[in-house]
Amino acid sequence: MTALLETPLLETRGVWQRFGGLVANSDVSISVGRGEIVGLIGPNGAGKSTLFNLIAGVLPPTQGSIIFDGEDVTRLPAAERCQRGVGRTFQVVKSFETMTVIDNVIVGALIRNTKMRIARQKAYEVLEFCGLAARAEKLAADLVPSEKRRLEVARALATEPKLLLLDEVLTGLTPVEAQTGVDLVRKVRATGVTVLMVEHVMEIVMPLVDRAIVLNLGKVLVEGKPADVVRNPEVISAYLGDRHAVGA
Amino acid sequence: MDTQFAQRRRRDLIVAGCFAVIAALVPLFVKDVYVQNIMVLTLMYAALSQSWNILSGYCGQISLGHALYFGLGAYTTALLFTKFGVLPWFGMLAGGAISAVIAMALGYPCFRLRGHYFVIATIVIAEIALVLIQNWDWAGAALGIDIPVRGDSWLKFQFARSKLPYFYFALALACVAWLVTWWLEDSKWGYWWRAVKDNPDAAESLGVVVFNSKMGAAAVSAFLVAVGGSFYAQFVSYIDPESVMGFQFSLLMALPAVLGGIGTLWGPVLGAVILIPLTELTRSFIGGSGRGVDLIVYGTLIVVISLALPRGLVSVFSWRKEAAR
């Protein structure tokens, strides 16, 4: 109940993003409460990644505003948003390939700790938390794909974010790896970090999230509890086409 | 848990110390002026390449225009001394500071360029500067500047009879450049630079202000290279635009680092120790015939090393280490 009284951690207000003639996001207003795990889902081309990048600060929206932790961050660049507490991963992993795993994480830790010794210690703790401690001295380039995904999460966590943005971290993993990922996200939330995750595959995220927001054709189609969202005829139609929605 | 890392860094420091002491003792046994001259140049290029490596190796912004900063250092020192009687020691600092400022002023537009476009910009800018100096009458235009030498003096940093003072200064400069790199490697900047090189987008998402990181690297790199240029002006006591700002200097700064191992602590030193004596020796023993045999030998060696060890000569050592594990 208290969560409802507090201001949300993240809000987008009437956000539009146009790329030339293409409207990627039109009038998107969503909010993410403190301590929530929210799934941002939708079929290919729905505008999930665009919205994600707007929140992370990769580019400013054409119109509308983004409020984070009570402050308007619409025009702030990505590095500045990280400073304020927005951590992110990339859909196509972007490890620092020539650096070791621990050094990758140290880069993230340095934003909160200027002393190298402390940053290194912090990075080790995060690696342990993410189950990568045994790989600490390996080159990032030598990790297997699922480990690289976890490294992205570890790197972002080392910046001590209030909001963690996960871009398809569970997609393309084996069921066992995906389960490990799901457990990690739960563990992250347990430490008080709010999570907004973009996922393409519904069955992986639905059991994990508290709330799901479905985007379609750049607009918010539905939002609500996962169980309600998956039964919603509009969602089924967006994913599978109109024929399947009739039966529901 | 960080003992392994700390040990490695301490070992690097001890090894460097040993090398420095050995190098300092060499002139006691080597009295030949020609060989001493080669040693001075080797140490100078080790220092220059180490400095170049900060921007291009660690931060990944490949510059082929560092001759600009070398020339700025040389010209600042020479002009301040001949026109205003300012001692070369102050000229060195002034040259370094001017170069650092200019590096940032040029970085402001250029660091928005990525990859090859950045490299091309650095070449073009250095060439423009060369042409400007060639046409600047007050600075001697194409004829250059003759620094009057009146006896040996540490105060004026000029020595007519012996090369040894230059040797020790060059050694000190190489040590300073190495130590700066060593120190930066385990600093916030060192980590940021490597992150920027590997993936600027990811670095930005982790709170690294990519643009500022590049500016910092450019300033440090340009400062040290300019000090090297100041030293060179004193060492040869006559400079002209082509002899301190020519494109070959940009290449000679890059090559040792690239051959030795770009973006590594030991690469530039290793590269310079092999490359510079080789350049000088091939030139004096098989060059001069007008057939360019020296350049053929030199070029062939570079090709062979780059093909056999694409990650540089230092990779020979890391390969051994991995095999021992």
**Residue A90 is nearest to which of B2, B186, B202, comparing CB atoms?**
B202
Residue A203 tokens, joined: 């069955």
Q: How many CB pairs under 8 A join A and B?
A: 82
Given a cut of 90, whether residue A86 has pLDDT beyond it is: yes
pLDDT band at B54 (very low <50, low <70, confident <90, very high): very high
d(CA B1, CA B3): 5
- Contact flag A96-B199 (C-beta cutoff 8 Å): yes
CB B88 within 8 A of CB B157: yes
pLDDT tens sequence across A41-67 = 988 888 999 999 999 999 999 999 999
**B186 contacts in chain A (CB < 8 Å):** 116
Chain B closest-CA separation from residue A245 CA (Å): 40
d(CA A45, CA A51): 11
**More confident: A78 or B144:** A78
- Contact flag B208-A107 (C-beta cutoff 8 Å): yes
d(CA B184, CA B180): 6
Centre a 10 Å sphere on the Cβ of residue B172 and count the other Cβ atoms it contains: 15
Interface of A with B (CB under 8 A): 56, 58, 77-79, 82-83, 87-88, 90, 94-99, 103, 106-108, 110-111, 114, 116-117, 120-121, 124, 137, 155-156, 158-159
Chain B closest-CA separation from residue A151 CA (Å): 12
- CA neighbor of B52 nearest in space, from B220, B179, B191, B207: B220
C-alpha distances in Å from residue B236, one per residue of A191, B78, B233: 65, 11, 6
DSSP annotation of B161 reads S
SS3 A136: coil
Helix B247-261 to helix B293-308 angle (10° resolution) is: 40
The pTM of the full predicted model, rounded to 2 decimals, is: 0.90
Q: Torsion angle of alpha carbons B196, B198, B200, B203, nearest 10°?
A: -70
d(CA B109, CA A143): 37
The whole-number pLDDT of residue B325 equals: 42
C-alpha distances in Å from residue B271, one per residue of B45, B250, B252: 9, 15, 10
**A156 contacts in chain B (CB < 8 Å):** 205-206
How far does Cα B64 stand from its chain's mean position? 12
Instruction: List the CATH code of the domain at B3-324.
Output: 1.10.3470
d(CA A108, CA B192): 9
Q: Torsion angle of alpha carbons A89, B57, A140, B6, nearest 10°?
A: -110
Residue of chain B with shortest Cα separation from A55: B205
- Contact flag B4-A137 (C-beta cutoff 8 Å): yes
Given a cut of 60, whether residue B115 has pLDDT beyond it is: yes
SS3 A121: helix
**B203 contacts in chain A (CB < 8 Å):** 96, 107
CB B161 within 8 A of CB B34: no
- Contact flag A107-B199 (C-beta cutoff 8 Å): no
Given a cut of 90, whether residue A234 has pLDDT beyond it is: no
pLDDT band at A248 (very low <50, low <70, confident <90, very high): very low
pLDDT band at B287 (very low <50, low <70, confident <90, very high): low
Bridge partner residues of A40 (DSSP): A198, A213
Bridge partner residues of A41 (DSSP): A199, A214
A210-232 as b/e: b if 16+ CB within 10 A = bbbbbbbebebbbbeebeebbeb
Please report, as a single letter, which amino acid is at residue B157.
F
Which residue's entry shows tokens 């600047």?
B136
Chain B closest-CA separation from residue A90 CA (Å): 8
Chain A closest-CA separation from residue B72 CA (Å): 34
Given a cut of 60, whether residue A246 has pLDDT beyond it is: no
The whole-number pLDDT of residue B286 equals: 74
d(CA B130, CA B150): 29
Please report, as a single letter, which amino acid is at residue B308.
A
Please report, as a single letter, which amino acid is at residue A179.
Q
CB A214 within 8 A of CB A220: yes
Return the beta strands (E) in B92-162 as ranges.
145-146
pLDDT tens sequence across B155-179 = 788 887 788 899 999 999 999 999 9
pLDDT band at B324 (very low <50, low <70, confident <90, very high): very low
DSSP annotation of B153 reads B
- CA neighbor of A206 nearest in space, from A217, A218, A194, A214: A214
**More confident: B139 or A2:** B139
**More confident: A21 or B177:** B177
DSSP annotation of A159 reads T
ipTM associated with this complex? 0.89
Which residue's entry shows tokens 């999930």?
A48
**Residue A107 is nearest to which of B187, B203, B209, comparing CB atoms?**
B203
**Residue B188 is nearest to which of A96, A114, A137, comparing CB atoms?**
A114
Which residue's entry shows tokens 């490990």?
A180
The whole-number pLDDT of residue A153 equals: 96
Residue A189 tokens, joined: 């939330």
Given a cut of 80, whether residue B191 has pLDDT beyond it is: yes
pLDDT tens sequence across A189-229 = 999 999 999 987 778 888 899 999 999 999 999 899 988 88
**A99 contacts in chain B (CB < 8 Å):** 194-195, 198
Bridge partner residues of A15 (DSSP): A28
Length of chain A as a residue count: 248
Chain A closest-CA separation from residue B174 CA (Å): 26
C-alpha distances in Å from residue B108, one per residue of A39, B166, B205, B283: 40, 35, 21, 40
CB B81 within 8 A of CB B87: yes
SS3 A25: strand
- Contact flag A98-B198 (C-beta cutoff 8 Å): yes
d(CA B203, CA A146): 21
The whole-number pLDDT of residue B30 equals: 86
- Contact flag A98-B263 (C-beta cutoff 8 Å): yes
**Residue B204 is nearest to which of A78, A98, A137, comparing CB atoms?**
A78
Q: Dihedral sign, CA of B146, B150, B155, B160?
A: positive
Longest dimension (CA), chain A: 61
Bridge partner residues of B153 (DSSP): B158
Q: How many CA atoms lie within 13 A of A211 on its CB side?
A: 16
C-alpha distances in Å from residue B279, one per residue of A61, A208, B233, B256, B297: 56, 65, 20, 11, 9
**Residue A110 is nearest to which of B1, B191, B263, comparing CB atoms?**
B191
Residue B22 tokens, joined: 């050995």
d(CA B166, CA B171): 8
Give me the DSSP letters along A224-245. E-HHHHHH-HHHHHHHH-HHHH
pLDDT tens sequence across A176-188 = 998 899 999 999 9
Bridge partner residues of A199 (DSSP): A41
- At residue A140, φ and ψ (nearest 5 deg) are -60, -35
Element (H, E) at A27: strand A22-32
Bridge partner residues of A88 (DSSP): A165
Q: How many CA atoms lie within 13 A of A53 on its CB side?
A: 17
Residue of chain B with shortest Cα separation from A103: B191
Which residue's entry shows tokens 């045994």?
A134
Q: Dihedral sign, CA of A112, A113, A119, A124?
A: negative
